[in-house]
Amino acid sequence: MLIRIRSKDGNFRFDLSPTTDISELATKILETTHNADILTLAISNRPRGNETLVSTLAGRNLQDLGLSHGDLVFVSYKSQPDATSNTPGTDSFPAPKATSSTSNHPWESVQEDRVDKYWRSRDGMIPRSRDARFCKHGANAMCDYCMPLEPYDASYHTEHNVKHLSFHAYLRKLTPKGSASASATASLPPLSQLSYKVKDPCPSGGHPPWPGGICTACQPSAITLQSPPFRMVDHLEIASRTIVERFLAAWRATGMQRFGWLIGRYEPYDEVPMGVKAVVEAIHEPPQEGELDGLSLGLPWEDEPRIRALAQSASPPLTVVGYIFTDLDPTPEDRTKNVYKRHPQSFYLSSLEAIFAAHVQRANPTSSRASPSGLFASRMVTAVLTGTADGAIDVSAYQVSEQACAMVEADMIEASVDPNIVRVKEEDRSQDTARYVPDVFFTYKNEYGLEVKKSAKPCFPVEYLLVNVSNGFPQNPSPLFHSTSFQIENRPGLEDQHIERVLRELSRLRAPEIPESSHGGDPQLRAELAKWLSDWHLVAFLGSTQLISHDDMQVLVHTASAPNVEDPTALDALIRTESWQTLMTFTRETAPQRPSTSAPSGSSHTPMDEDIPQEVYDQITRESGGQGGGRGSIRICPHCTFENAHGGSDCEVCGLPL
């Protein structure tokens, strides 16, 4: 049953069973209070008078006290100086566990992302300049025509064709700044996660749990599918076009579709009031089996904890902001162009892809102080590389709505053979796979322009679950990682990662010769090595070799994500680590030998000696694949480092110029 609580902290609701002990209600009340002394906690059925100390009601349940569904209970208590000094009066009323030293509220101890802290510290008002036609005041005055607008102003969004409010603009709309001191309830979290599951146990407590019984108190309400009023991410920005080109190289070489996790961070997006954008700095490819028209992927992927920890060590810290996959099919008439398959007359995301997106978003909620649980929605973005109307390749980005995530969690929907259609599952009352499916509706405009509500059973269009996310590349790219030349992980037979390649490249860059201190040595050599190390795929590979300790790995990631590789001191901390010295030892032992100083017998040529210039020797080593010897016909691609043995001008793997 539903019990309503009113205290000086605000109004609260609790779903409890009639047989719930009063101690459980007392514990829930204490979680809503500020430094309450449990010995003074009292309840009453009136706003004033008739108070009864809760400590005198030990052993009694709500039904014994005469409470029923919907009753309002008034609570009073005296505060004590320190919340951590609460001492229960009896063993029947354990003190609630504090989530922090200063607050009993779990949402107040949540560590939000940096972008959330940024927008919470700003008012988000939309500035407007003085209107020459209507403003009749001086330069230092302000009127209705030039005063700043709230970030959720409807006319501004309509004028600038912004379909969805940003997340923080929506929060500002729910909790206007001026109301923060109006009442205690204004500081409570305004959002709660959506759920379409049957409540178990039932709040009324009058019947067995589902599927044994169901009532209006525990069954979910009917669902009307509608566009969400806000979106968690407003824009997807890929830091460099090379990141996408390297990802596409595998498809170009094999024709098999590829999948990758987007490694990046969240930043303010000023094109939308209080907006948030996901900035992609790398694409990490998990183990997968590509096919011509799809791919097989294992979730969760085994290396995920290591990769997340590695990304978190970067400067600034990175995380998984979404995923990307290819859906490309060359046209039969012209293999240089791709089929245009995702468009308004077809689909944007298939029903299977939308359900997969819902699973990913549910598994990656956003830490937020706006929800009582400290978690709300998700910022994971789905990106698709597919053909355009002119046969080129472009990126499309989406999220699925919170309704989609809640329906997947309740096991209500499934994919259809038609990619544009989502099927609603049948209700199932079996004990093992019990599934309750409420009524689901969606609205549309008919041929007369009238809005019509229609049942979504047995199916409905997938577009009712999608949220568009704009995307693009920065005008002045400044990627966090300065190199994309190292082989990409989990591309067996196409790009194989080996420690020998790393050692060979370190030898070519003369890494063992670089001194620990930046005072001395060749600064250009240090800059070249720093740039080569600034590669996500290289760093991720070195982290799996066990040659670098955990602490030294933090130094390597920090060095690889340094903003300025030209800085002579960028490598100092890394070169001083024990793991780097070990790596240099291996590099010296496996370095290619310089050419012999004596000529072959019977040769009339002048013997080669130590007077060969270093740059000539480096060129010989590079062109022979790092194995020493004379010039060869193999050319290393500067983009993907694939060894091309043909005489063409483009790389066999990535297709970029050699």
Statement to judge: residues 525 and 376 lie in one domain:
no
CB 408 within 8 A of CB 462: no
- Report which residue type is found at 17: S
The kind and range of the H/E element at 404 are helix 402-409
Assigned domain for 138 exists: no
Cα(626)–Cα(505) distance, integer angstroms:
8
CB 347 within 8 A of CB 290: no
Both tokens of 292, joined, read 């011509």
Specify the 3-state DSSP secondary structure of 498: coil
Q: Residue 556: how many CB atoms within 10 A of its CB?
A: 23
Last residue of a domain, one of 58, 76, 94: 76
Statement to judge: residues 288 and 399 lie in one domain:
yes
Burial of 573 per CB tally in 10 Å (0-12, 13-18, 19+): middle
Statement to judge: residues 383 and 510 lie in one domain:
no
Specify the 3-state DSSP secondary structure of 8: coil
Statement to judge: residues 270 and 407 lie in one domain:
yes
- Helices 351-363 and 402-409, packing angle to 10 deg: 90
Give the Å distances, CA to CA, from 174 to 165, 366, 407. Answer: 12, 19, 25
Statement to judge: residues 550 and 404 lie in one domain:
no
Statement to judge: residues 403 and 272 lie in one domain:
yes
The kind and range of the H/E element at 382 are strand 381-387
Last residue of a domain, one of 560, 575, 590: 590
Assigned domain for 283 exists: yes
Per-residue model confidence (pLDDT) at position 81: 62
CB 231 within 8 A of CB 163: no
Statement to judge: residues 526 and 390 lie in one domain:
no
Last residue of a domain, one of 549, 564, 590: 590
Both tokens of 387, joined, read 């053909």
252's CB contacts (< 8 A; 6+ apart) are: 653, 654, 655
Assigned domain for 175 exists: no
pLDDT digit string, tens, across residues 350-371 = 999 999 999 999 999 999 999 9
Both tokens of 444, joined, read 């549309």
Cα(39)–Cα(96) distance, integer angstroms:
14
Assigned domain for 621 exists: no
pLDDT digit string, tens, across residues 381-392 = 999 999 999 999
Full domain range(s) for residue 41: 2-76
Statement to judge: residues 367 and 261 lie in one domain:
yes
Assigned domain for 249 exists: yes
Both tokens of 379, joined, read 């910022």
Statement to judge: residues 358 and 235 lie in one domain:
yes
Assigned domain for 284 exists: yes
Cα(621)–Cα(382) distance, integer angstroms:
43
Per-residue model confidence (pLDDT) at position 385: 97
Per-residue model confidence (pLDDT) at position 593: 60
- Looking up residue 36, the CATH number of its domain turns out to be 3.10.20.90
Statement to judge: residues 272 and 403 lie in one domain:
yes
Per-residue model confidence (pLDDT) at position 179: 46
Statement to judge: residues 260 and 375 lie in one domain:
yes
- Looking up residue 338, the CATH number of its domain turns out to be 3.40.140.10
Both tokens of 78, joined, read 């005296």
Both tokens of 375, joined, read 């978690």
- Weakly modelled stretches of the chain, pLDDT under 50: 83-102, 179-184, 596-612, 620, 623-632
Burial of 519 per CB tally in 10 Å (0-12, 13-18, 19+): exposed
Assigned domain for 291 exists: yes
- Report which residue type is found at 632: G
How many structural domains compose the chain? Answer: 3
Assigned domain for 526 exists: yes
Per-residue model confidence (pLDDT) at position 186: 54
Statement to judge: residues 532 and 391 lie in one domain:
no
